[in-house]
Amino acid sequence: MSGIKVLDVTLRDGGCVNDFNFGQEYMDSILSALEGSAVDYIELGYIDEKKGSECGRTQYCNEKVIPQHFLKHKRRGITYVAMIDYGKFHIDHLDKRNEKGIDGIRLAFHKKHWKEAIGGAER
């Protein structure tokens, strides 16, 4: 059991119900509760260049707005990620990773696009 890691997707998957409109206060309370739990990975939301926002929602226009408006401090031992659907955000638009930003991207794609998606992720 020591090799099992837990990924929580509440802030992203829950957004499918409320159009990602959690509101900043509720987003902050969910993040605080998750950080206090035993999860290893927290998926902070979804990145979409066209439909994303800068704050108050967990659908972001880019990864740079996440630490500016939401992830103000990181807890040791937790990996913070965001999800990108292949075709909704071009990976060439991602900035270089930095200590204050998210730790990773979870890339989702349809089976028919796997070669293009994986090829783009290798850059």
Question: Mean pLDDT for each 10-residue chunk of the chain (123 residues)?
Answer: 88 85 91 94 94 91 92 94 88 86 91 80 54
Say whether 55 sits in a helix, a strand or coil: coil
Distance CA 69, CA 57 (A): 10
Residue 80 CA, distance from chain mean position: 7
Q: Is the pTM of this model over 0.85?
A: yes
Which tokens go with 68? 């500016």
Distance CA 45, CA 20 (A): 8
